A and B are shown apart, each in its own frame.
Chain A
Amino acid sequence: MPLLLLGIASIVFIVSRLTPADPLVQIIGERNLSNPEVVAAAKAQWGLDSPVPVQYVKYMKNLVQGDMGTSFSTRKPVFDDLVDRLPATLELTFTAMVIGLVFGVGLGVLAARNRNRIVDHIARFFALIGSSLPAFWAGLLVLYVFYAKLGWLPGPGRLDPRATEPDRITGFFTIDSLLHGDFSTFRAALAHLILPASVLGWGVVGIVSRLVRASLLDEFSMEYVKVARAMGLRERTVVNSHALRNALLPTITIVAFTFAFLLTGAVLTETVFTWPGVGSYAVNASRSLDFPAIIGVTILGGFAFLMTNLITDIIYAFADPRIRLS
């Protein structure tokens, strides 16, 4: 795993330094390019004057210390920018995950219990739409319908533009406002979460419901389910406390992968909802060729991938007695 991390950092570094585009232009602007003093100063400041291998070693050394360089566009350390914006992304993805899991498992059970009946087909089609819909258009669509037309839900952003943010404790607006006992801010933050999290969670519903349906159908054909049914247990008991428990096990493995999927989807959803998270940071960075920022986000993404895999393995071990006890 450390090797993988090193590989991740290296690839991103190589990618960013092989560019024909000149980041200098982004730093000092087109006009100053003819001014040698400004050019030299900028190069020295950003470490662009040393040969690439030296830049690489320098970069790695800094990275180990959590120093990802300074963003060209915000002029702040990338690490600080990321720490600043990560809670917004996590709040969004966690909410989306909850939506995705609750509706995904629900829909999967519904589909499996009504196998090949109309309910099954509708549930599967709804789930499939979720994974076929471009999140950025879905975002625009729900904003248009629920915000602009119906006015049921607030527009883009984490809070209304003029609202004051709760003092930062965790960086999660919902949790922070609760900790401060500020219920109106809590309600506002929650309302702002609904649309982006639903758009993001819809894709997860597709993945989860499909898996739950398939593994539940597998369980239904097992002897123990037949025994339970033969004993005259109610169908609800058979499903909920017998079959579903076993069927959910494979779902755990997919949660990690789903979380990574969410982080990715967050890039687009945040852009549509002007959500001040890591995703919109990445988009701004790549639009303005802000390489330190791009590198930072990409490394964070790779790191998140690795961590979720690790965490899944651990959760899986806890959830499956066969692994826990061996």
Chain B
Amino acid sequence: MTSTIEAPPRRRRRRRPPWLRGPALVGLITLVLWVLVALTLPLWSPSDPLDPVADRLLSPSWSHLMGTDALGRDVFIRALWGARISLPVSAIVIVSSVILGTVVGAAAGFFGGWIDAVLMRAVDITMAFPPILLAMAITASLGPGIRNALIAMVLVWWPIYARLLRAQVIAVKQREFVESAHAIGASRWLIVRRYILPMSYTPVLVNATMDFGQVVLLTASLSFIGLGARPPSPEWGAMITEGATNFYQWWIAAAAGIAILLVVLAFNFVGDALRDTFDVKDLGDMKDSGR
């Protein structure tokens, strides 16, 4: 569409790929740090997230960076421990949703016909709900708790990937190399696995990266409502609930809020760069989270 003619760069320099530049690099470093903290925390954490270490409701100081909460626990340490809940939970939700979505989307796209119709109807119906409402209903039915919240989130989240993958599979299915694979007698399973899926999964993976932050938000939202992790747990949403109870001790909620913000921002930076690199349509925005 552009009709401007750009002057060729004077010196050809090897540039780092977009996802290793600017905000994306910052995001990537942030994420690596968070993962490192989450993995190694038990080795160096100065205190247990559930044990009181000082007086109650101390404001932030050098010995307790984000103060203490109503039980005298170190808020900063708790916020760090929260990563050990939010990150794995979100990872499981995203991975399970991608797998489920891939299976359903590939089946629908490849077989077509009534299989496609039935599966896509299921996708449509699930996507007709505001995600948080459906997740709330499912979690409430299964019984509150982080495990059931996780199940609920997977049930709410997979359809977007099924829809994405199906569209790709249908497009790839008509390419000549698939036809020639048919002609040389490759089995259907082999065709899907070797020829179609590798050509189709890019948008799913890019969207999954962008969605990761949204799932972190949704996890925290469910806990905030009281359906996910329960209070003694240092989960970020649950910590913000405690922060709401101790409204004037702003640091309790702030520690968890900043932790969420950092993780979600980082994923948005990285996801944006991935999207620009692979030029994927922004379906991630079509799905909202627990904001």
Residue ranges of A at the interface with B (Cβ–Cβ < 8 Å): 3-4, 7-8, 11-12, 15-16, 18-21, 128-129, 131-138, 140-141, 143-144, 148, 203, 207, 218, 221-223, 257, 260-261, 263-265, 267-268, 271-272, 282-283, 285-287, 289, 291, 294-295, 297-298, 301-302, 304-306
Cβ 8 A contact of B137, one of A137, A140, A265, A298: A298
| A286 engages B225 (CB within 8 Å) | yes
Besides the known contacts A148-B247, A261-B291, A267-B221, 11 further A-B residue pairs in the complex with CB atoms under 8 A apart = A3-B121, A11-B126, A132-B213, A136-B240, A137-B260, A138-B257, A141-B254, A260-B130, A264-B132, A265-B288, A267-B133
B221 near A298: Cβ-Cβ < 8 Å: no
In the assembly, what is the distance between CA of A295 and CA of B140, in Å?
11
> What CA separation (Å) do A285 and B143 show in the bound complex?
13
Given that A294-B140, A297-B133 are contacting pairs, would A287 and B225 also be in contact in the complex, using a CB cutoff of 8 Å?
yes
Which of A129, A141, A304 is the one whose CB lies under 8 Å from B250? Answer: A141
Task: Tell whether B220 is near chain A: CB-to-CB under 8 Å.
Answer: yes
- Is B128's CB under 8 angstroms from A144's CB? no
Which size bracket describes the interface of B in this complex?
Answer: 35 or more
Nearest A residue (CB) for B155: A15
Residues 21-33 of B, flagged 1 when their CB comes within 8 A of A and 0 if not, give 0000000000000
B62, chain A: closest CB distance, angstroms: 23
B63 within 8 A of A: no
B243 at the interface (CB under 8 A from A): yes
Which residues from chain B contact A272 at a C-beta distance below 8 Å?
244
Contact status A136-B143, CB under 8 Å: no
Given contacts A286-B227, A298-B137, contact A264 B240 (CB under 8 A): no
> What residues of chain B have their CB less than 8 Å away from a CB belonging to chain A?
1-4, 121, 124-126, 128-134, 136-143, 213, 217, 220-221, 224-227, 237, 240, 243-244, 247-248, 250, 253-254, 256-257, 260-261, 264-265, 268, 285-286, 288-291
> Which of B2, B136, B142, B286 interacts with A19 by CB under 8 Å?
B142
CA distance A25 to B26 in the complex (A): 51
Which B residue sits closest to A16, measured CB to CB? B141
Q: Can you report 6 residue pairs joining A to B where beta carbons are below 8 Å apart?
A: A19-B142, A132-B265, A134-B237, A135-B291, A268-B132, A302-B128
Q: Considering only CB atoms, which chain B residue lies closest to A265 in the complex?
A: B291
Would A203 and B225 count as touching, CB distance under 8 A? Answer: no
